[in-house]
Structure 1
């Protein structure tokens, strides 16, 4: 994922397998979007694998821009909508559900701003200390943006009616803080690594839950 091309592609393949297996165990339409997360992270990490190849070999330089913005499309925009919507789909009609939908709308606007700004400014990934650096510090109030991003991602999890999703939101928050504390420079790539690992764990959650029902 954030360590080398081979790790990225291996992770993408593993998440694809887990994702397909998760989808086969998902009995309701309400859970479909959440169960898609491993497959979506597999696509994102596949993009990062191509970023690695483009940085390591001139033969793959032609794909650098497409792979970079493919990865950033997920990192800066799609997850800001998909995460709230996944929880929204699981909730019964209520004021809380409407609030989660509002957060998803906010995520759409915020993600459009982040991704659009990234395209306009341009992002040139680099290898830094064994990880890929996507330097987004050109964004105004960059540090605030990271925490606001976290707010949009995890708040719907904390509002969920299901206990395990609230715990999942807590683990996502901890992974954010770990990436922020120990991989500050390469935060974007490393947190996506952590998030991808967490998405793979959804397979075991669905398998355990439905084997007990």
Structure 2
């Protein structure tokens, strides 16, 4: 989370509980990856909690480093692959599955590019207006890439057969727009805050989908 270590760890605990409950709502193995998103966000927010501890305690440098690169691994690579892959597993139409698989592969290539630059150049998070600022502007074409990133993350949901998953995709786009307008400098951290909150809604989405299948 983008506010403090306490908020990060509290959110991680809440998301872990929601994640376990969400997984419990699944009716097939194909749903497991999407249902695990809250748990995965819990891991990511725990990692950012380590970054906050490092900022408050100079002796916690190793934890700070692990938190920084672990958090950014999720932010710049893992979600680019898992978002389209989760919807690929749910898709039934062969053409849609091919499209989503292509997005997952493209997301992996883009993620390797982004995280490769991060590892090569190094990133030291800074505090800015009470949030964590991960300065990734050294990455070539960063200002263009962040919109490509948004597309790879959101399009799988926006094009879903389920209207409630389409709404989830719209929420992802709106959260990006809000983060870009009001928190442009700390976009990476703040958008992950919104995304983590949104992932909690997957519990209700999965429950709704399960109810529809049983009806």
TM-score strictly above 0.5: yes
CA distance in 2, matches of 1:139, 1:149: 13
CA distance in 2, matches of 1:50, 1:60: 9
CA distance in 2, matches of 1:166, 1:207: 16
Pairing of 1:131-142 with structure 2 (within 5 A): 131-142=131-142
- TM-score w.r.t. the length of structure 2 is 0.96
Question: What RMSD over aligned residues (CA atoms) do the two structures have, in Å?
Answer: 1.1
Aligned to 1:36: 36
Unaligned runs of 5+ in 2: none
CA distance in 1, matches of 2:63, 2:76: 20
Aligned to 2:25: 25
Aligned to 1:91: 91
CA distance in 2, matches of 1:33, 1:43: 15
CA distance in 2, matches of 1:141, 1:151: 16
What is the CA distance between 1:165 and its match in structure 2?
A: 1.2
The size of the alignment, in residue pairs, is 213
What is the CA distance between 1:205 and its match in structure 2?
A: 2.1
Which whole-Å deviations, capped at 9, do the CAs of 1:25-84 have from their partners, x for residues lacking one? 111111110000000000000000000000111132221111100000000000000000
CA distance in 2, matches of 1:206, 1:157: 14
CA distance in 1, matches of 2:59, 2:141: 37
Aligned to 1:181: 181
Aligned to 1:101: 101
Aligned partner of residue 59 in structure 2, secondary structure: helix
Aligned to 1:5: 5
Kept in 2: contact 1:96–1:159 (CA 8 A): no
CA distance in 2, matches of 1:53, 1:27: 39
Pairing of 1:158-177 with structure 2 (within 5 A): 158-177=158-177
CA distance in 1, matches of 2:71, 2:147: 20
CA distance in 2, matches of 1:85, 1:209: 19
CA distance in 2, matches of 1:98, 1:176: 26
Aligned partner of residue 30 in structure 1, secondary structure: helix
What is the CA distance between 1:210 and its match in structure 2?
A: 3.1
What is the CA distance between 1:9 and its match in structure 2?
A: 0.2
CA distance in 2, matches of 1:182, 1:205: 28
Which whole-Å deviations, capped at 9, do the CAs of 1:68-124 have from their partners, x for residues lacking one? 000000000000000000100000142122011101100000001100110001000
Aligned to 2:78: 78
What is the CA distance between 1:211 and its match in structure 2?
A: 4.6
